[in-house]
Homo-oligomer: A and B are copies of this chain.
Amino acid sequence: MAESTRTLLVVSAHAGDFVWRAGGAIAAATLRGERAVVVCVSYGERGESASQWLQGKSLDEIKAIRREEATAAASALGAEIEFLDAGDYPLLESTETVAKLVDVFRRVQPTVVLTHPLADPYNGDHPAAARMALEARVLAQAIGVANSDGTFPTTDEIIGAPPVFFFEPHQPEQSDFKPNVLLDITAAFPMKQKAMECLPAQKHMWEYYTSLAVRRGVQLKRNAGPNLGLPVDTMGEAYVRYYPAVTDILE
């Protein structure tokens, strides 16, 4: 597939999630000259903005802050970003939000989709976003499912069956997250680092996710074996491929 036609779509429950969990994959894609589009279903204005609430900010102010930060982070990763402002804590599943996501899928025509895994006992918004992303991906394939403005898609507008990868939750084992793909993000990591620095309120997370990248890098090297010649400081991100891989070579 020509690189220019590759497009990564990332569906993120809150405004910051895509940075911590998929920043490496996004930067790796844009470094290759591919397109990357992030959709934040909510701003994380209620559930993930405690410090701003404690500062007495209003709901609208908080949304604006989160939007600005996320926009800067996406920019640091070379990605486009959109916001659905569907509300958080709880992020409610709705036909309206799914319909908006169907439009996004048809407009963006992703070749790869990233989203949250389907279980997270610490944050119900994450699996809610994932369920809507998965549902929208299936609906967007069907020529009988109208766009959100009531028009029907053309055959060019419906999508194929892009593979879906779940990115890593905060407590992977508790979320039944068993990675089956370890992604080398060594070259992309400086961009991820810059994107993380766009989220100053969560400064303690910078180190946490750097340390996680080292850890996943160690595992990546272990699974690659010594023959691949990976450098000592390989950095990684962990993913779960949801549908079977389709391939013409086992490797």
Contacts and interface: CB of A to CB of B under 8 A. Distances in A.
Interface of A: 1, 6, 8, 25, 28-29, 32, 45-47, 49-50, 53-54, 59, 62, 89-90, 92, 95, 98, 111-112, 114, 121-124, 134-135, 138-139, 141-145, 152, 155, 159-163, 165, 170-174, 176-184, 208, 211-212, 214-215, 218-220, 222-228, 238-239, 241-251
Contact of A160 (B49, B170, B179, B227): B227
A169 to B, nearest CB: 11
Given A92-B95, A239-B250, A244-B174, A152 B184 contact: no
Contacts of A90: 95, 98, 135, 139
B244 A47 contact: no
Nearest to A99: B90
A3 B245 CA distance: 21
Nearest to A212: B215
